[in-house]
């Protein structure tokens, strides 16, 4: 299910309609822009939902109609409204240890076979692409610590990227409401969070975990200023917004950045397609591996 199939929690059902017209041409222009710049796949059937998401942005920005809203988006590549558009059309929903089987694969396929080499200083690079508010990369960091408590002294880094600077600010702050940490296994809580204060309304991810993660803003549709190879790439529940050719190109770019034996994990409703499907071997549920021996 994509974000655009679900009603936004803040969406009032009786949103005043029709006060600003949203023509087929307006929708086509927004859809073409969102596809060209961000790979988003907006079908005509989503026109009403796109309207209800974007009418709020028109009100907020004071744009009198959709044509002037589009002019604003298209006219300035650095317009902060571009990020607001992405936020309005996608979701940041995530949680700790989401699709937990992928973290087990990280341990079994990537970490455990290389313990000695990692202890001897071998490099390990992991990428959380579309990391949202940070729960995914911090779950990776906890997984690493669980197996290798000496990780901070090793050559191990997690790159965590997202297109949305506001969500990255939350990720860097690393403070989560207590009810959002329910997915964290009990035995990892002491490791993951600063001294547990029972009853505290928020929990701060521990400094040792935060030290492993580097956050950066990155639109997956543009060039990637990243240096591979990566031993594992998680890009989960991001490509659901993209059309099939865009997805296939994305998988291929990830496959090219994987080290031999490297692991690619994608979202539960996503499927590997295009050339990457021939280049990578299945390693688990929505998990794939580049053939060859790990370094």
Ligand X SMILES: C[S@@+](CC[C@H](N)C(=O)[O-])C[C@H]1O[C@@H](n2cnc3c(N)ncnc32)[C@H](O)[C@@H]1O
**Residues with a known catalytic role:** 53, 162
- Between residues 6 and 59, which has the closer beta carbon with respect to ligand X? 6
Query: Could you tell me which residues come within 8 angstroms of residue 145 by beta carbon, excluding any fewer than 6 positions away?
Result: 151, 191, 208, 209, 212
- Between residues 30 and 238, which has the closer beta carbon with respect to ligand X? 238
Residues 240-259 touching ligand X, rule: CB under 6 A, are 241
Q: Is residue 164 within the footprint of ligand X (CB under 6 A)?
A: yes
How is residue 260 written in tokens? 């031999």
Binding to ligand X by CB under 6 A, coded x per residue (else -) over 252-291, reads ---------------x------------------------
- Determine the 3-state secondary structure of 190 from DSSP: helix
How is residue 199 written in tokens? 């009853």
Per-residue HEC secondary structure of 206-249 comes to: CHHHHCCEEEEECCCCCCCCCCCCEEEEEECCCHHHECHHHHHH
Q: Which stretch binds ligand X (CB under 6 A): 170-178, 190-198, 214-222, 252-260?
A: 214-222
- Between residues 163 and 233, which has the closer beta carbon with respect to ligand X? 163
How is residue 71 written in tokens? 């002019």
- Quote the CA–CA distance of 75 and 113 in Å, as a whole number: 51
Q: Is residue 41 within the footprint of ligand X (CB under 6 A)?
A: no
Residues 93-132 touching ligand X, rule: CB under 6 A, are 93-94, 98, 130-132
Task: Let me know: does 102 contact 287? Beta carbons within 8 Å.
Answer: yes
Q: Is residue 238 within the footprint of ligand X (CB under 6 A)?
A: yes
Nearest-CB residue for ligand X: 94
Applying CB under 6 A, the residues found at the interface with ligand X are 38-39, 86, 90-94, 98, 130-132, 136, 162-164, 167, 218-221, 236-238, 241, 267
């Amino acid at each position: 299910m994509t974000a655009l199939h679900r009603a936004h929690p803040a969406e009032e059902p009786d949103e005043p309609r029709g006060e600003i017209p949203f023509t087929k041409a307006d929708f086509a222009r927004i859809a073409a822009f969102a596809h060209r710049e961000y790979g988003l796949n907006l079908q005509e059937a989503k026109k009403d939902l796109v309207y209800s998401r974007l009418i709020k942005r028109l009100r907020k920005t004071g744009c009198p109609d959709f044509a002037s809203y589009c002019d604003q988006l298209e006219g300035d590549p650095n317009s902060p409204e571009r990020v607001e558009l992405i936020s309005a059309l996608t979701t940041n929903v995530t949680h700790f240890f989401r699709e937990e089987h992928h973290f087990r694969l990280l341990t079994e396929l990537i970490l455990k076979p290389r313990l000695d080499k990692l202890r001897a200083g071998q490099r390990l690079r992991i990428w959380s692409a579309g990391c949202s508010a940070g729960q995914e990369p911090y779950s990776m960091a906890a997984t690493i610590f669980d197996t290798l408590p000496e990780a901070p002294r090793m050559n191990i880094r997690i790159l965590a990227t997202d297109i949305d600077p506001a969500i990255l600010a939350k990720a860097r702050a690393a403070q989560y409401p207590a009810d959002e940490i329910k997915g964290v296994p009990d035995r990892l809580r002491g490791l993951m969070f600063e001294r547990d204060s029972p009853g505290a309304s928020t929990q701060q991810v521990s400094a040792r975990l935060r030290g492993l993660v580097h956050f950066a803003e990155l639109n997956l549709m543009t060039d990637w200023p990243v240096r591979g190879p990566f031993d594992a790439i998680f890009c989960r529940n991001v490509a659901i917004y993209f059309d099939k050719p865009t997805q296939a190109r994305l998988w291929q770019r990830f496959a090219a950045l994987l080290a031999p034996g490297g692991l690619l994990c994608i979202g539960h409703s996503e499927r590997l397609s295009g050339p990457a499907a021939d280049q990578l071997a299945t390693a688990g549920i929505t998990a794939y591996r580049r053939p060859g021996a790990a370094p």
